[in-house]
Amino acid sequence: MKKGWIIALVVIAVIVVLGFAIVGWGVGVYNKLVGLNEGVSQAWSQVENQYQRRYDLIPNLVETVKGVAEFEKGTFTAVTEARAKVGQVRLSADQLGDPQAFQQFQQAQDGLSSALSRLLVVSENYPQLKANENFLQLQAQLEGTENRISVERMKFNQVVQDYNTQIKRFPAAIIAGITGFSEKQYFKAAEGAQQTPKVQF
């Protein structure tokens, strides 16, 4: 009888140890997923900061250009409308797994980038504008902001890649599925970006 109790206690002890090991492993995986998810949210905040910086610069740039190039109304309207659309399309860190919301956000930002590019091209036609100190400073700030946006988008994509890879790997995929961690979206190039632009002289 004593032998039976000893075997039963050993089996129970092994089961308890295995149970603790599995729970400990699950907690470790969950905590890693939480950390990666927070990394995605932090990277997204940096992207939003740069977009906000650009959003705030635009009215000053438009007003400066308007003072010199008054008859380019269509360009100003396009920039103003694109900026308004960007202001309406918000994407929180919780929505980063929603492909439609993410695509809407990216399209609005790409539309604003396109309108700003047209505005800067129009400004090339006005020598007095190119000599305007305010315009030159705003243009430099905007170009710097566009570069920062590119860098932050690249960093964001790297963090999302780490996160998405982790939630798809076995056995972490089991914990991710049980606890509701879902795939996040990447920034992608604007449509037509892969085509070589035509240069004419």
| HSE-up of residue 193 (Cα within 13 Å, Cβ side) | 7
User: Smallest Cα–Cα separation from 93: which of 160, 12, 170?
Assistant: 160
Mean pLDDT, rounded, for 54-66? 80
What torsion, rounded to 10 degrees, do the Cα atoms 44, 49, 54, 57 define?
170
Radius of gyration of the chain from Cα atoms?
A: 26
Residues above pLDDT 90, as percent of the chain:
14
Q: What is the pLDDT of residue 155?
A: 93
pLDDT tens digits, residue range 105-132?
A: 888 888 888 888 887 777 777 777 666 7
Q: What is the pLDDT of residue 68?
A: 65
pLDDT tens digits, residue range 183-200?
A: 998 888 666 555 544 534
- Residue 166: pLDDT band (50, 70, 90) is very high
Q: What is the pLDDT of residue 165?
A: 93
Report the chain's mean pLDDT, rounded to a whole number: 82
Q: Which long-range contacts link 161-165 to residues 24+ away (Cβ below 8 Å)?
A: 161/186, 162/36, 162/39, 163/33, 163/36, 163/37, 163/39, 163/40
> Is there a contact between 75 and 92 (Cβ–Cβ < 8 Å)?
no
CATH number of 2-179: 1.20.1440.20
Mean pLDDT, rounded, for 68-90? 77
Mean pLDDT, rounded, for 10-39? 88
Q: What is the pLDDT of residue 197?
A: 46
Query: Does residue 163 or residue 63 have the better pLDDT?
Result: 163
Question: Which range (79-93, 119-133, 173-187) has the least confidence?
Answer: 119-133
Q: What is the pLDDT of residue 200?
A: 41
| Residue ranges covered by each domain of the chain | 2-179
User: Smallest Cα–Cα separation from 59: which of 42, 82, 34?
Assistant: 82
Q: What is the pLDDT of residue 163?
A: 93
| Burial (CB count <10 Å: 0-12, 13-18, 19+), residue 80 | middle
Q: What is the pLDDT of residue 190?
A: 66
> Is there a contact between 153 and 47 (Cβ–Cβ < 8 Å)?
yes
> Is there a contact between 174 and 31 (Cβ–Cβ < 8 Å)?
no
Query: Does residue 172 or residue 134 have the better pLDDT?
Result: 172
